[in-house]
Amino acid sequence: MRSFRYVLAACCVVASGGCERSSPAVESRVSDAAVAQVGSDAARQLRETLVKRLTAAIDSGGTASAIDVCALEAGEMTDSIGDAVGPGVAMKRTSTRVRNARNAPDSLEQAALAYFQKVADSAGEMPTSWVQDAGTEGFRYYEPLRVVDLCVQCHGPVDSIAPDVRAVIAERYPEDRATGYTSGDFRGLIRVSVPASRAHDGT
């Protein structure tokens, strides 16, 4: 579980040439690679911090006490990491089945969730990331979140979740839909909003 790692393979490579969208008569060019660089940096920090803090909290106080890490700190973490990565960079975790309604997907996120699932169904493998044009908001960078053993303690099949953990979840999240997952399942997405000003080559 501590070996929980993700390979952010090709998306991190900022290759020059080839994949930029060129815009005529403008000196700077919008580039998916530039968005992906900002997005993958933020997403990696969120994954690492969250797993580290969850593991430490579970080790020291048990799984039920670690619920606060996901509930309170995940929100603060997404804010502070976004700020650290750059102005206007904002993050969120979302899913088709949420525990907290606050994390429910908006229409662009619903499209992204559907895109990842569709590619996985047709190609047999989920994309490691995706850049979406978000209109006036700029761009959104997404990475899939997979369930590992650590997550099953709080997101697994209901009858496999320890009674004390189940009780806290039931009390705080009466509308919880984020159970029933097993290791390897697609749990949802990390979304990183990247303002258009950060989506240009060389910036």
Nearest distance, CB of residue 115 and ligand HEC, angstroms: 17
Q: Count of residues for the chain? A: 203
The helix/strand count (H/E) of the chain reads as 6, 4
Nearer to ligand HEC, 33 or 152 (CB): 152
Residues in contact with ligand HEC, shown as a per-residue x/- string from 59 to 98 under the rule CB under 6 A:
----x--xx--xx--x------------------x-x--x
- Pick one of 11, 31, 155, 192: the residue that binds ligand HEC (CB under 6 A): 155
d(CA 2, CA 17): 37
Residues in contact with ligand HEC, counted by CB under 6 A, come to a total of: 26
Question: What single letter denotes the amino acid at residue 118?
Answer: K
Site for ligand HEC in 181-200 (CB under 6 A): 187-188
- Cα 174 from chain centroid? 23
Give the bridge partners for 145, in sequence order.
Answer: 188
Q: Is the dihedral of CA 7, 103, 182, 149 positive or negative?
A: positive
Nearer to ligand HEC, 14 or 56 (CB): 56
Site for ligand HEC in 115-144 (CB under 6 A): none
Closest CA to 137 of 196, 200, 78: 196
Q: Which helix (H) or strand (E) holds 10?
A: none
- Pick one of 100, 128, 195, 201: the residue that binds ligand HEC (CB under 6 A): 100
- Pick one of 8, 81, 89, 178: the residue that binds ligand HEC (CB under 6 A): 178
DSSP state of 183: T
- Binding region for ligand HEC (CB under 6 A): 51, 54, 63, 66-67, 70-71, 74, 93, 95, 98-100, 102-103, 145, 147-148, 150-151, 153-155, 178, 187-188
